[in-house]
Structure 1
Amino acid sequence: MPTVLTIFGLRVVIYPNDHRPAHVHVHVHVQGNGCEAVFNLHCPDGPPELRENYGFSQKELGKIVGALVRNLVELCAEWRARHGHY
């Protein structure tokens, strides 16, 4: 999996050959279990928006969104480099 950012021990991933709109998958795997959330980035200006959540608490999601906002320019650049248009 192509990890493009690590935040709070979580992997932020942009899959190759993925579909639009521009989005990231955020993963954590702990002892065989894990959580995943998918955020549409709304490139280039944001803000990131939660699309799917599998196991993260609201508090965790808030922290993740804050980190995605702080890294939005880089994340959008990564998406564009891998997939072209947003």
Structure 2
Amino acid sequence: MPTVLRFFGLRVVIYPNDHKPTHVHVIGNGCEAVFKLNCPEGPPELRENYGFSSKDLGDIAEELAKHMGVLCEKWREIHAHF
């Protein structure tokens, strides 16, 4: 599972054998959230949350939005077959 970005002590992961729509898993501190990317311009949209607070989710979404270009490109690289 490639880690494509790190921030706030969290890992942003794209699974190679995953499915559409474009999304990332944010993992850390015993929590995980899944955000749809809505490529190419976003905004990232929460799909699932397992343990993050509302404030954390807002901060994560903001940080993901800053890196949309990189995240969408990484998704395309990892999932070239789509």
Q: Percent identity?
A: 66
Q: Which of residues 60, 63, 67 in structure 1 aligns to 2:63?
A: 67
Residue aligning to 1:35: 31
- Provide the aligned length of Structure 1 versus Structure 2: 82
User: Structure 2: which amino acid aligns with 1:15?
Assistant: Y
Unaligned 5+ runs, structure 1: none
Counterpart amino acid of 2:60?
A: I
Q: Which runs of 4+ in 1 moved over 3 A?
A: none
TM-score by length of 2: 0.94
Q: Could you give the per-residue CA deviations for residues 2-21 of structure 1, whole angstroms, max 9, x where no partner exists?
A: 10000100000000111000
Measured in 2, the distance between the counterparts of 1:74 and 1:40 equals: 14
Unaligned runs of 5+ in 2: none
Which residue in the other structure is 2:44 paired with?
A: 48
Q: Name the TM-score, length of structure 1 as normaliser.
A: 0.90
